[in-house]
Structure 1
């Protein structure tokens, strides 16, 4: 039996909105709900807009305590009814509903002392941003830090205003890439998996991968071919989640419920289902 209280949204106030691209915005929400302080990178909330429904959105930054509550950051792309309405209508000062946090998290604690590779594609970099932030804040506790982020074009890159900050992280190996050449683009051209050929992967790595499902599959397979243990490759499979608590069954993947057993899985756990599901 599912407790009713976990299906009831808490109220969050929209404190800041950042325009990332033509169809992506970052929302900073203030919540004084006690459970909001329990977020871990990789988890998600169900965002509720009255009259439109709910949609699962991952945390896109660490949660910070602020004046008796928590500051929660969500980066949202307008792809469906709820998200398009939010991007076009919700303004600073408005209130929205959130429930959660739900799901598991990126295994950052298990990665202490290890080398870290972060590979994100498109808006898939958003759930990885808290991992990068955590590693940056605790840089001495980790080995090498390799960050690969790819987008279709320079205009599709999120968090452009943070790139200079990323470049200053001690020892970071940063690879930004776009699909096709563009004027004034001085970084790499190619897909995220292509960038793995530029990295010397001879350390003791934990790999964190998020993006379009085909990109995650190709990236994970390429890492395995380069000698990575599938148990050390982690992907986020946020798809078809509706209830967030494992009662509707729409997110079932093999014997897993993505919302409860994930959304973070090791490639070892889900590779066989990714093949069957045609990812």
Structure 2
């Protein structure tokens, strides 16, 4: 129930940015860009709109609006841990490229809801950036986060989290328990914005809009300005 859509054309999408996909008479929703060229999106079938996207055939017309958001502004570090759940993996190629340009060594952990037959989504590309591990949930959502209890972590490691908000909240608590500083935790808040131009307010995280600021927010900011987004059991 996951489909990779490749389109003609290209974008210059950076980590923290996104685009809208529009099907006339069906709907429009925001998605992360997996590759800039060919322009690629990873779609998981969740509802009528994503199902319509998954049913497109070669030659079908699909409209793209964007880019929205802004490039991640981070503090370069020697080591980074990248953790993604599900289709959140689409954010990682642009993020890993930015970190590589900053001279950062990476460990990449991916969680999937289904067993992977063969290689995981984007495995070949992401494995070129550093250590790559993919863990299936096996009936227990977020099972990949168990690795955070045992993996070696330098307290100065920067950690980048992508996926459902509950997934990132649980991962954050585990990492804080491993003495990772709040200012070294970055969460990709991919809220369901409606307009992309700062009018609807649906993508608000505290006083920041992801369509303007970008999706990545530091944990210390969210804790102070939007703590309800971290309040998952």
Q: 1:98 to 1:269 in 2, by over 3 A?
A: same
Name the SS of the counterpart of 2:153 in structure 1.
coil
- Flag structure 2 segments of 5+ consecutive residues without an equivalent: none
Which residue pairs with 2:83 in the alignment?
119
Q: Of residues 60, 78, 81 in structure 2, which corresponds to 1:94?
A: 60
How far apart are 1:53 and its partner, in Å?
Answer: 1.8
Q: Of residues 145, 152, 166 in structure 1, which corresponds to 2:106?
A: 145
Name the SS of the counterpart of 1:244 in structure 2.
coil
How many angstroms apart in 1 are the aligned matches of 2:203 and 2:103? 34
How many angstroms apart in 1 are the aligned matches of 2:125 and 2:210? 33
Q: Of residues 248, 254, 258 in structure 1, which corresponds to 2:206?
A: 254
Aligned length, in residue pairs: 231
Q: 1:160 to 1:179 in 2, by over 3 A?
A: closer
Q: 1:274 to 1:25 in 2, by over 3 A?
A: farther
- Do the aligned residues in 1 keep the contact of 2:85 with 2:142 (CA within 8 Å)? no
Q: 1:245 to 1:93 in 2, by over 3 A?
A: same
Question: Do structure 1's residue 45 and structure 2's residue 19 form an aligned pair?
Answer: yes
Q: What is the RMSD of the two structures over their aligned residues, measured on CA atoms? A: 2.9
The TM-score, its normalising length taken from structure 1, stands at 0.72
How far apart are 1:158 and its partner, in Å?
Answer: 10
The TM-score, its normalising length taken from structure 2, stands at 0.85
Which residue pairs with 1:15 in the alignment?
none
Name the SS of the counterpart of 2:196 in structure 1.
coil
Cα deviation, 1:210-251, whole Å, max 9, x if unaligned, reads 112111001112112211121221111112211011111222
Name the SS of the counterpart of 2:57 in structure 1.
coil
How many angstroms apart in 1 are the aligned matches of 2:6 and 2:108? 24
Name the SS of the counterpart of 1:259 in structure 2.
helix
Pairing of 1:237-252 with structure 2 (within 5 A): 237-252=189-204
How many angstroms apart in 1 are the aligned matches of 2:81 and 2:46? 28
Q: Of residues 57, 70, 74 in structure 2, which corresponds to 1:104?
A: 70
Tell which structure's C-alpha radius of gyration is larger.
1
